[in-house]
């Protein structure tokens, strides 16, 4: 939804030459020189404004389609909006989710960045997340593509336009107090790939066009290699420059690396190792008991049986009792309750086993 105001702002940017009645410009989005391209010199500026706003509104329709064109009573919780629950409207589940995000952001949600904790968010959180969790080949390709297209007068306006949209989105994300995951940056990636596609129009020289196409193919091959390298632990991806997924927990936590995705792998490990029960410090949205996992709850998040343990851990935090401890890495770093010291003893030791990159196993004798 952030793109609705962004498209509106873009429509008002002075990217085009004005005369008294028309906007005269070369095409910005289209590679075509046809007079009927997206921005034609014969189209009044008010029509361009409507086209940008329509692009933003189209994103809402796409989201509605993803929700199966849901229609029903609204599900708001706060007093100011709860009055709307008496009426029906489109995708009530989605709007309830947006409200929840706003409430989480306003109330302060714990965030972790490079060993530091905050409930007010970090200004550098999303720029750093983008740099460390985007494949290195994409970052390098983005820089090279942007430089080449901006240096070329024929493609400069189009490149600047495509870059402006994600930069505006980045600006919105940086002031957010909700710093929980790279997934909030996913809307930026289509513009990165759109910019890359602009390489095919970088030069009119056949030799350089061939070089650009070879570069794009190399980019795609590099992305494929990155996918194969991280398979099947996609959520925990960190690029090579960041030290890879094994080092990710020193940079970011929460859904950047640990969202409970390794629960089934923990079950498989327990079956393979003949482990009947674990002491579980769980961090994830799934309910472990639903999947018949045999465990003793330790301090964790987000369910009461785990949250209630933070105040009075069921083990000696200075010398844990013997047993097999399975601790989600976000809990290990104490994201739910920073500096509590609950898992300090474990952090001084290397785990005996890692389940994926999100659950660390300690055998305490």
Do residues 214 and 296 both lie within one domain?
Answer: no
Q: Is the pLDDT at 123 greater than 60, yes or no?
A: yes
Predicted local distance difference test score (pLDDT) of residue 54: 81
Instruction: Please indicate, yes or no, if residue 249 is contained in any of the structural domains.
Output: no
Predicted local distance difference test score (pLDDT) of residue 39: 42
Backbone angles phi, psi at 275, to 5 degrees: -90, 120
Do residues 59 and 148 both lie within one domain?
Answer: no
Instruction: Please indicate, yes or no, if residue 356 is contained in any of the structural domains.
Output: yes
Predicted local distance difference test score (pLDDT) of residue 8: 53
Instruction: Please indicate, yes or no, if residue 251 is contained in any of the structural domains.
Output: no
Residue 244 C-alpha from the chain's centroid: 17
Which tokens belong to 24?
A: 């005269």
Q: Is the pLDDT at 25 greater than 60, yes or no?
A: no
Do residues 102 and 142 both lie within one domain?
Answer: no
Residue 232 C-alpha from the chain's centroid: 18
| Beta bridge partner(s), residue 116 | 113
Query: What's the rounded mean pLDDT across residues 289-313?
Result: 93
Do residues 134 and 149 both lie within one domain?
Answer: yes
Over residues 141-185, the pLDDT tens digits come to 999 999 988 988 888 888 898 898 889 888 888 888 889 899 999
Q: Is the pLDDT at 270 greater than 70, yes or no?
A: yes
User: Cα dihedral sign for 215, 127, 179, 241?
Assistant: positive
Q: What's the domain range around 217?
A: 116-230
Given pLDDT bands bounded at 50, 70 and 90, which one contains residue 325? very high
Higher pLDDT, 13 or 203: 203
Query: What's the rounded mean pLDDT across residues 212-238?
Result: 93
Which tokens belong to 27?
A: 């095409």
Do residues 203 and 129 both lie within one domain?
Answer: yes
Q: Is the pLDDT at 82 greater than 60, yes or no?
A: yes
Query: What's the rounded mean pLDDT across residues 31-51?
Result: 54
Do residues 357 and 292 both lie within one domain?
Answer: yes
Do residues 224 and 281 both lie within one domain?
Answer: no
Predicted local distance difference test score (pLDDT) of residue 38: 41
Given pLDDT bands bounded at 50, 70 and 90, which one contains residue 44? low
Q: Is the pLDDT at 268 greater than 70, yes or no?
A: yes
Do residues 48 and 103 both lie within one domain?
Answer: yes
Average model confidence (pLDDT) for the chain?
85
Query: What's the rounded mean pLDDT across residues 284-305?
Result: 93
Q: How many CB atoms lie within 10 A of CB 214?
A: 10
The answer to whether the predicted template modeling score (pTM) of the entire model surpasses 0.95 is no
Last residue of a domain, one of 176, 210, 230: 230
Predicted local distance difference test score (pLDDT) of residue 155: 86
Instruction: Please indicate, yes or no, if residue 35 is contained in any of the structural domains.
Output: yes
Q: Is the pLDDT at 4 greater than 80, yes or no?
A: no
Do residues 303 and 334 both lie within one domain?
Answer: yes
Predicted local distance difference test score (pLDDT) of residue 9: 56
Do residues 360 and 263 both lie within one domain?
Answer: yes
Given pLDDT bands bounded at 50, 70 and 90, which one contains residue 276? very high
| Beta bridge partner(s), residue 72 | 89
Counting the structural domains of the chain, the total is 3
181 three-class SS: coil
Q: Is the pLDDT at 107 greater than 80, yes or no?
A: no
Predicted local distance difference test score (pLDDT) of residue 36: 43
Q: How far apart are CA 238 and CA 252, in angstroms?
A: 10
Do residues 193 and 130 both lie within one domain?
Answer: yes
Instruction: Please indicate, yes or no, if residue 27 is contained in any of the structural domains.
Output: yes
Predicted local distance difference test score (pLDDT) of residue 332: 96
Given pLDDT bands bounded at 50, 70 and 90, which one contains residue 122? very high
Instruction: Please indicate, yes or no, if residue 245 is contained in any of the structural domains.
Output: no
Candidate ranges 40-49, 124-133, 145-154; pick with highest mean pLDDT: 124-133
Do residues 104 and 154 both lie within one domain?
Answer: no
């Amino acid at each position: 939804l952030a793109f609705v105001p962004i498209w509106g702002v873009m429509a008002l940017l002075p990217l085009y030459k004005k005369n008294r009645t028309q906007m005269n410009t070369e095409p910005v989005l289209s590679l075509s020189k046809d007079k009927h391209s997206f921005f034609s010199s014969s189209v009044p500026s008010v029509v361009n404004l409507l086209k940008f706003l329509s692009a933003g509104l189209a994103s809402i329709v796409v989201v509605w389609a993803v929700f199966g064109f849901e229609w029903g009573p609204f599900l708001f919780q706060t007093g100011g909006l709860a009055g709307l629950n008496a009426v029906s409207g489109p995708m009530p589940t989605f709007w309830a989710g947006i409200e929840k995000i706003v409430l989480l952001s306003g109330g302060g949600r714990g965030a972790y960045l490079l060993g530091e904790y905050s409930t007010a968010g970090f200004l550098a959180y999303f720029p750093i997340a983008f740099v460390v969790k985007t494949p290195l080949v994409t970052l390098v390709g983005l820089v090279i593509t942007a430089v080449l297209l901006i240096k070329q007068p024929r493609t400069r306006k189009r490149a600047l336009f495509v870059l402006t949209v994600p930069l505006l989105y980045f600006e919105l994300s940086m002031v957010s107090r909700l710093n929980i995951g790279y997934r909030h940056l996913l809307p930026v990636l289509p513009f990165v790939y759109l910019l890359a596609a602009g390489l095919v129009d970088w030069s009119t020289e056949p030799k350089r066009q061939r070089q650009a196409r070879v570069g794009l193919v190399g980019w795609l091959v590099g992305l494929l290699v990155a996918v194969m390298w991280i398979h099947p632990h996609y959520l925990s991806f960190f690029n090579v420059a960041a030290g890879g997924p094994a080092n990710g927990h020193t940079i970011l936590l929460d859904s950047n690396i640990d969202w409970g995705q390794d629960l089934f792998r923990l079950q498989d490990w327990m079956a393979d190792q003949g482990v009947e029960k674990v002491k579980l410090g769980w961090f994830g949205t799934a309910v472990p008991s639903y999947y018949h996992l045999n465990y003793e709850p330790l301090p964790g998040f987000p369910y009461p049986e785990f949250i209630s343990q933070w105040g009075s851990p069921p083990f000696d935090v200075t010398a844990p009792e013997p047993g097999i401890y399975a601790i989600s890495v976000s809990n290990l770093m104490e994201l739910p309750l920073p500096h509590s010291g609950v898992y300090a003893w474990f952090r001084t030791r290397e785990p005996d086993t890692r389940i994926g990159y999100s659950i660390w196993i300690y055998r305490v004798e």
